[in-house]
Chains A and B, each alone.
Chain A
């Protein structure tokens, strides 16, 4: 038994620490992508949810079609289409530097995909708001836009904080797919280090822990928020 080899492959965190600069910038890139995509997905998702419950049939049909298409398409396909299709074939952002276009195409693909899930989550939240609330809003004469904005959505949001948190966690994990759109983040860094210094166990666990530092506190935070903000009925 070669104990040096054993130690290097299974226990030695040396390579992970030696490349800590690259790894740090990889995770920073992941965070930058997550933050921007989260904001855009939340805005777009809320808009889609409002469209899906609106009295205008064209809006309902548009939002339904958008959600059904995006939700049932693999994210890998969407991001690949952003990179190979939109940029390389159709020339969107073709003039920008590859790092810049990679970032914005990844943001576009990821937020377009996540918005469909935000919309569905929010819609299930709208369904949990008691009928009496909507009826009361209507009976004091609020039109649809106001009853949605002032009465329904605030309660719906508070009902779905925890599920929205798990949508957000899924999105943070999904940033790993952005490498197919040409955006270099933590997972791409890991792949590169696997190729350069070998796929050792400590290297994998280092990256896994990095992702856990991003996802687990997010889940706990949203769980806490959900309890705190819950609507008493």
Chain B
């Protein structure tokens, strides 16, 4: 009789290699899960069919080059341009306020900290609303009048303030992750504070911060869809407003648009994961690797960082 070797599972420490009974149980559970999942998907598909959503006329527009040229690609371009501009500005914001928050001088550190905590604590959407409607009102208070703020500008301002504040925290955590001995060694050989920062801390921090920054870009990219609310003509608007009003095919449009968003964000997330693996291997930095997800760094408001 041949003895069946237990097949090697994914190397999980959480469970033993299954024996005959566990294999049988796992198979049953697998089938049950599959039935539940297929049931839910089937219900959705059936409901779509009942509402006539599988009609080819609704899906056919996505095979036409014109639809892509006049709706989807311009929408994608607007989404990406808002995201890229906001990411660049947010990085600038993050560096400036990050230095400010790490400053030894209380009168620099406190206002920077207050601004960062404020922008982190409120929804991006109310910043976007106020970025659009507020400046003309403020100008009016000073008896001036300014050009109305465009939807693009409002989205960029909102995204910059929020994500910039997150970058400040990432920046602070990146600096904090470097062992104190590094800065001390710098001071010991007679470097000034600015030199310690620019030549010792920052170069090492950048390596550790890169993966978190890139994964925050995914958040920024997703939040750019908030532009929909103030009628910014982004990818979401292209699908849910423009294509829908031309072909009356909301569900197909929603599915295609979701696919595009997921594809872009998965690519960026993959890049973040690759950077993280690389920085873990890297020997250029003495820093402890940061978690790849910014949410782990943002835990408590008002937490005290190091000051340099």
Interface of B is mostly: helix
Contact of A55 among B15, B218, B228 (CB under 8 A): B15
State whether A90 touches B118 (Cβ < 8 A): no
CB-CB under 8 A from B296, the residues of chain A are: 121, 124, 162-163, 166
Contact of A76 among B48, B225, B250 (CB under 8 A): B225
* A198 CB-CB contact with B under 8 Å: yes
Total CB contacts across the A-B interface at under 8 A: 216
CB-CB under 8 A from A215, the residues of chain B are: 121-122
Enumerate A38-92 residues with CB–CB distance to B below 8 Å. Answer: 51, 53, 55-59, 62, 68-69, 71-77, 80-81, 84-85, 88-92
State whether A89 touches B251 (Cβ < 8 A): yes
State whether A211 touches B123 (Cβ < 8 A): yes
Enumerate B177-195 residues with CB–CB distance to A below 8 Å. Answer: none
* A35 CB-CB contact with B under 8 Å: no
CB-CB under 8 A from B26, the residues of chain A are: 55-56
Enumerate A4-22 residues with CB–CB distance to B below 8 Å. Answer: 5-6, 8-10
State whether A72 touches B262 (Cβ < 8 A): yes
CB-CB under 8 A from A55, the residues of chain B are: 9, 12, 14-15, 18, 22, 26
* A23 CB-CB contact with B under 8 Å: no
Contact of A134 among B14, B218, B229, B257 (CB under 8 A): B14
Interface size on A, residues (CB 8 A): 81
Enumerate B246-281 residues with CB–CB distance to A below 8 Å. Answer: 250-251, 254, 257-258, 261-262, 265-266, 269
Measured CB to CB, the closest approach of chain A to B29, in angstroms, equals 5
One digit per residue, 1 when the CB lies within 8 angstroms of any chain A CB and 0 when it does not, for chain B 109-141 equals: 000000001100111111001100110111011
Measured CB to CB, the closest approach of chain A to B280, in angstroms, equals 14
Interface size of B as a range: 35 or more
* B282 CB-CB contact with A under 8 Å: no
One digit per residue, 1 when the CB lies within 8 angstroms of any chain B CB and 0 when it does not, for chain A 169-198 equals: 110011111011000000100110010001
Closest to A57 in B: B30
CB-CB under 8 A from A104, the residues of chain B are: none
Measured CB to CB, the closest approach of chain B to A205, in angstroms, equals 9
Binding site for A on B (CB under 8 A): 9, 12-16, 18, 22, 26, 29-31, 33-34, 37, 47-48, 51, 53, 117-118, 121-126, 129-130, 133-134, 136-138, 140-143, 218, 222-226, 228-229, 236, 240, 250-251, 254, 257-258, 261-262, 265-266, 269, 291, 293, 295-296, 298-303
State whether A72 touches B240 (Cβ < 8 A): no
CB-CB under 8 A from B240, the residues of chain A are: 77, 80, 84
* A29 CB-CB contact with B under 8 Å: no
